[in-house]
Structure 1
Amino acid sequence: MTRCIWVLVFLLMTGTASSQVLNNQAQSNTIDYGQPQQYRIGGIEFTGIKFLDPTALTGITGLKIGDEITVPGEDISRAIQKLWDQGLLGDVDVYVTRIEGNQIFLNFDLKERPRLSRFEFNGINKSQQDALREKINLIRGKVVTDAVLNQTRNIIRKYYAEKSFLNAKINIVQRPDSLLPNSVVLNINIDRGDKVKISEIIFEGNEAFADKKLRRQLKKTKEKRFYKIFTSSKFQRSEYENDKQLLLDFYNSEGYRDAIIVSDTVYNTSEDRLGIRITLDEGNRYYYRNITWNGNYLYEDDYLTRVLGINKGDVYNKQELDKRLNYNPAGIDVSALYQNDGYLFFNIDPVEVTVEGDSIDIEMRVSEGPQATISKVTVTGNTKTSDHVVLREIRTLPGQKYSREDLIRSRNELANLGYFDPETIGLNPMPNPEEGTVDINYTVSERPNDQISLSGGWGGPIGAVGTVGLTLNNFSTRKLFKLSEWRPLPSGDGQRLNLNVQANGRYYQSYSFSFTEPWLGGRKRNSLTASVFKTIRRDPRADVDSRLNVDGAALAGP
């Protein structure tokens, strides 16, 4: 068998596969690039790799033993490109090790990209380093590719841009790690520069409102002025985008429903200052003309119009209209009128039926639906407080008609307990239109509300007096003798236990204990409080020890 070594070297330059052929002229067989030939792959091997799996690499190339390929041709070029696209390799050379008849044997000589050993920050303090370590996705052993480096730069640049350092410079230097083969240390050099502040905000195209009034609508985007001591003028892209929407919301609330921002430009006025130019198209100002109702049977048109509170000639305001139809914190709304009477499936759709000049006619299309009955009430999230303590505060009971007012009142009652975070109390009606029922789930999040107090004062002739107090606001006597329920004390039944001690050595001592059951009997809000106290006083000026003991007990009912 004639053994020949034909070398095909495919060099990848600037991310594009190109090829150069080196033939051993001493061999009798050469590859004629003017006449491509068909070969069957007899073997594929990979050299130069330490961490990559040859089987996985073979799959990436798309080639396998037994495949027919054309040499020269696109088959090997495509294989090289597929390997290159993985971003794991710094160089790929392909050699034809031998040809036996119509079989060709290939060797892919690869150079792996280095892997990350560790990374270090330079130019910033420790708190900023810790914050960036949580954001960037650099893990030891990860292949250091151009994409990884670019992603790291972008994350750092975004981090500083959010803090108004828009001119931050990030330079990442790779340094070989002498302790680990094919590994690098990344030195991330950061120069955040100065904060960029807003020097001017200019509006164009506005006629209805002055620039000064429009600038006030931008809540977080403010100009730098010497007299605005407590006003931040930092530029933050995310806040700026939100403020642009607030600007349009303002126009909409004033009747300019077609107002748009035609263009906006952020430009540099100096190295650490920038300006903003916003071009507006205000459009026309619109007013309500006729408001009609369709589909309502329970309430007359005039009554619904009075509840809506919008009259002919009022400035058109879609946000205000939606608030008065669906949820009005300042008073009754049309949706509440129905839902407080059980009509959970009520729906209303305001439709602009006519737009003429500066006037708009609205048709309120109403679907009242059937009344809903409460089927099941559940509570989740109360890991400490017992279910019955939560449920006794709830006004929405199974079998009753659904009422949005009772639902909101129940949330307020739960918040007033003090056992839960009022910001996270959730109301989740789960309607079943087919059966005309609704299940209600309340979600709560426990928060600590027990109190420990330490204080001191001056007690006249007896001197300093110290006070220690302990108040348990969610105590449970029912769990008192169940050691498994002590976490660290028995709790969850809404009872109140108070212990208080005041003392000045031997001259003054006061002990008090009180216990409150807010729901005596468990059916109504009948509160029972029992208290016991003891006081000991001695006169420090008397030669003879004279002591006064005061013992007492009190019982207060509903």
Structure 2
Amino acid sequence: VNYHGIKKGEREDLEAKLGLKKGFQVTPNLMDRAKIVIQKFFDGKGFKNVDVDIVQRDDLSKEGEVIVDINIDKNEKTKIHRIYFEGNKALSNRDLKKAMKKTNEKFSIPNDWKTSILEAFSTKKFTTEEYEKDKQNIISKYNEHGYRDAVLLADSVVNFNEKKVDIFLKLEEGDKYYLKDIRFVGNTQYASDFLEAILGMKPGEVYNQKKLTERLSTDEDAVSNVYYNNGYIFFSADPVEVDVDNDSISLEVRIQEGPQATINRVIINGNDRLYEDIV
């Protein structure tokens, strides 16, 4: 198998992904799969318009064997010319563009001179994988502001020219929701008042799903870590919307504490100078 038009490092990466080795039976399906893998590989590097041509020719030195030439033309990296939004009222175009971490427009003189230099020059290559993540980031941003029903109705990526694309996104924001009340169930080791104070979310505030996840699970001082740090390593907390009244949501945090774990034995390896009881 010979690769043409790419660097040594790219060839080595593709060889590992494709697994084409001497002795493999060459079939149309195998070649089609190889082409798809190569296109996806370079799409992830920002080359959306890569051309792949796979040619087979007889190996004149070995009867019954063929030589496979994989000709690759990466063309120019694809960048974003403009991102257009439709249907957004609660969040501005700029808010939504900032939520898209890796899918950024080309640099232009900003209308808002408070825009940071870093943000202004943050144009990155377009990749399908990062674009899919950024579409979810848009919905997550809406969820953070109380719009739990926000959806992306449609999106399209259209060539602006050979080097750039335009992105069109149509949104439906839905209603904004607030927190009506929260109660904990299943907790026996800690009082509900204590857990509510740790959670730090109060009735009447915006229903922020990001904050809910952080305060329950991911922050250093989250509810889960109160349990983990005291040996409840099997702990879980499941927030459930038990009632939706117009724009207000009642939450029930269902706790499963599990047994408290204790240390049974500590095994020390590699200590050739000190006894275990000294360590």
Q: TM-score, normalised by structure 1?
A: 0.44
Match of 2:56 among 164, 174, 196: 174
**1:198 maps to what in 2?**
80
Does structure 1 residue 154 correspond to structure 2 residue 45? no
What code does the residue aligned with 2:250 have? D
1:103-149 deviation per Cα after TM superposition (whole angstroms, max 9, x unaligned)? xxxxxxxxxxxxxxxx2233334443333333323222222211122
Shift of 1:301: 3.5
Match of 1:243 among 134, 150, 160: 134
* Structure 1: segments with no counterpart, 5+ residues: 1-118, 387-475, 479-492, 494-520, 524-558
Shift of 1:182: 2.2
Does structure 1 residue 231 correspond to structure 2 residue 122? yes
Mapping 1:394-413, distance limit 5 Å? none
**1:20 maps to what in 2?**
none
Going from structure 1 to structure 2, the CA distance change for 1:138 and 1:312 (only over 3 Å counts) comes to same
Shift of 1:157: 1.7
Alpha carbons 2:107, 2:123 under 8 Å: kept: no
What code does the residue aligned with 2:192 have? D
**1:397 maps to what in 2?**
none
What code does the residue aligned with 1:334 have? V
For 1:254 and 1:166, the matched residues in 2 are separated by: 34
Name the % identity.
Answer: 41
For 1:144 and 1:345, the matched residues in 2 are separated by: 51
Does structure 1 residue 364 correspond to structure 2 residue 253? yes
Q: TM-score, normalised by structure 2?
A: 0.84
Query: What is the SS of the residue equivalent to 1:219?
Result: coil
Does structure 1 residue 353 correspond to structure 2 residue 242? yes
**1:319 maps to what in 2?**
210
Going from structure 1 to structure 2, the CA distance change for 1:185 and 1:299 (only over 3 Å counts) comes to closer
1:38-79 deviation per Cα after TM superposition (whole angstroms, max 9, x unaligned)? xxxxxxxxxxxxxxxxxxxxxxxxxxxxxxxxxxxxxxxxxx
Going from structure 1 to structure 2, the CA distance change for 1:274 and 1:522 (only over 3 Å counts) comes to same
Alpha carbons 1:295, 1:367 under 8 Å: kept: yes
Going from structure 1 to structure 2, the CA distance change for 1:165 and 1:357 (only over 3 Å counts) comes to same
For 1:130 and 1:299, the matched residues in 2 are separated by: 55
For 2:232 and 2:217, the matched residues in 1 are separated by: 13
**1:275 maps to what in 2?**
166
Going from structure 1 to structure 2, the CA distance change for 1:340 and 1:266 (only over 3 Å counts) comes to same
Residues matched between the structures, number: 268
What code does the residue aligned with 1:324 have? R
Name segments (4+ residues, structure 1) moved above 6 Å.
none
| Larger helix percent | 2
Larger RCO: 1 or 2 (CA < 8 Å, sep 6+):
2
**2:67 maps to what in 1?**
185
What code does the residue aligned with 1:291 have? I
Query: What is the SS of the residue equivalent to 1:363?
Result: strand
For 2:205 and 2:106, the matched residues in 1 are separated by: 37
Mapping 1:57-96, distance limit 5 Å? none
Match of 1:335 among 218, 224, 237: 224
For 2:83 and 2:70, the matched residues in 1 are separated by: 35
For 1:288 and 1:361, the matched residues in 2 are separated by: 6
Alpha carbons 2:82, 2:167 under 8 Å: kept: yes
Shift of 1:323: 2.8
1:514-543 deviation per Cα after TM superposition (whole angstroms, max 9, x unaligned)? xxxxxxx947xxxxxxxxxxxxxxxxxxxx
Does structure 1 residue 308 correspond to structure 2 residue 190? no
Bigger radius of gyration: 1
| Larger strand percent | 1
Query: What is the SS of the residue equivalent to 1:270?
Result: coil
For 2:6 and 2:226, the matched residues in 1 are separated by: 59
For 1:292 and 1:126, the matched residues in 2 are separated by: 59
Does structure 1 residue 287 correspond to structure 2 residue 175? no
